[in-house]
Structure formats: C-alpha cells, structure tokens
Amino acid sequence: MTQKEVYDKVVSVLVEEFEVEDDDINLDANLFTDLKLDSLDAIDLMVTLDKELGIEIKTEEMKDLRTIKDVCDFVLATSNNE
C-alpha cells in the first residue's frame, strides 16, 4: 500500500465509523486532543483497520500512537512487514 492509500483509508474510517469531521483531519491531528477520541476509540480504530486491511495490530503496539501520521506510519510498517 502507498502512504496515500493508507491515509485515505484512515480518513474514511474516522469519518464513517467515528463520525469525525473531515475538516478536522490532517496528518498532525492528535487522536485524543484534536479529534476527541479516547483509548477505547483508539483500540476500535485499529480493529477496524485490521478488518479492512487484513493486518494484525496488537494492543500493546498501539500505546505510543498519538497522531494520524503515527497511525499511518504504523499501519504502513506493519503492512510492509507482513
């Protein structure tokens, strides 16, 4: 997957599943302070990405993810490793 494909997928999941406003999303947006998600939302975001992209993401690997860029980089790295 390309960086753009991952970003577009993350954006579409955030908008459709988490009802985040499209305008609030950018690479630097913080999941918790800017997008007002919480730790359970973060888990469910990764679960949804796992389902949609078929990549396994372990909960303990997510604890350092803060921004949309963190999520995209993590998904991309995991996807490439698989």
Helices (H), 17-67: 39-53
* Contact with another protein (CB under 8 A) among 34, 44, 70, 73: 44
> Does 51 help bind another protein (rule: CB under 8 A)?
yes
What is the distance between the alpha carbons of residues 66 and 4, in angstroms, rounded to a whole number?
A: 19
* Residue 34 interacts with another protein (CB under 8 A): yes or no: no
Q: In a 3-state reduction of DSSP, which class is residue 30?
A: strand
Kindly report the backbone phi and psi dihedral angles of residue 67, in degrees, each rounded to the nearest multiple of 5, phi listed first: -110, 170
In the list 48, 66, 69, 73, the residue contacting another protein (rule: CB under 8 A) is 48
Interface contacts to another protein, rule CB under 8 A:
18-19, 36, 40-41, 43-44, 47-48, 50-51, 56
